[in-house]
Structure 1
Amino acid sequence: MIVSHVDNIKGTDADASGPGWRSLRFGLKSDKLGFTMTETTIDAGVDHILWYKHHIEAVYVISGEGEIENFETEEIHPIKPGSFYALNDNDRHRFASFTEMKLICTFDPPLSGRETHDEDRSYLPDL
């Protein structure tokens, strides 16, 4: 059994951040759960191009508003509290936040905890 709290994650390798975002990560690769869950905060006004080419990501929006654009289909979807979206390893996309956003994200395969975005705006497959 794994039991944790955000207070145990803050300031560790599982507390990752970059320009406009912070990700508190639960269920790391070393925990051998097969996935990672994050509590991610996105600042207002962020506009990122992302491509998790080595991961599948599923996202549930807790608070805030923004939009996600699928580059392959050119569709733009509004996202707000209660929205869910899932991306496979081929979904290069744009994520824009209009307000501060709080997200619950799940990654498969699991993260090591130290990942940040590389030059392709993805995470490396294994750190």
Structure 2
Amino acid sequence: MIVRKLSDVEDVEWGNGLSRRFLTLRDGMGYTITDTIVRAGTTSALEYREHLEACYCIAGSGTVIDSAGDEHPIVTGTLYALDKHDPHQLIASPHEDLRLVCVFTPALIGDEVHDLTSEYSQY
């Protein structure tokens, strides 16, 4: 059994926020669970070419823009899933951080960070 508290995991600075990775590849579960903070007022161009991701908003608000340019509001209680390695933009509200619980498959090694200098980043 694996039991971890937020105080047990390290913060990984990923460019526009923090990712606290509760499960990683070394845990042998086949997926990663994170508690992710997206800083207020930031826009992140993202794409995971090797991972699928689902995000559930537990605090804050923002918008995710899909590759077709459609905007989807994110508020507490909203889930979005990137089921096709979708390029997307994640925008946090200018007034508050966005907090997401995210699941990645396959599992992250644990120290990956986004490259926000390119059009779309990847792990």
- TM-score when normalising by structure 1: 0.87
Of 65, 76, 99 in structure 1, the residue corresponding to residue 71 of structure 2 is 76
Query: How far has the Cα of 1:89 moved from its partner?
Result: 4.5
Please state if 1:31 is matched with 2:27. Answer: yes
1:55-112: CA deviation from partner (whole Å, max 9, x where unpaired): 00000000111000001x2211000000000003430001000121111000000011
Structure 1 runs not aligned, ≥5 long: none
Residues 58 and 107 in structure 1, CA contact (< 8 A), matched pair in contact too: yes
> Cα gap change, 1:117/1:19 in structure 2, threshold over 3 Å: closer, same or farther?
closer
Following superposition, the deviation at residue 20 of structure 1 comes to: 2.2
| 1:49 equivalent in alignment to 2:45 | yes
TM-score, normalised on structure 2?
Answer: 0.90
Describe the SS at the equivalent of 2:7: helix
Match status 1:117 vs 2:92: no
Structure 1 stretches of at least 4 aligned residues deviating more than 6 Å after TM superposition: none
Which structure 2 segments of 5+ residues have no match? none
Partner of 1:91: 86
User: How large is the RMSD of aligned CA atoms in angstroms?
Assistant: 1.2
Question: Is contact 1:70–1:91 with CA below 8 Å preserved after alignment?
Answer: yes
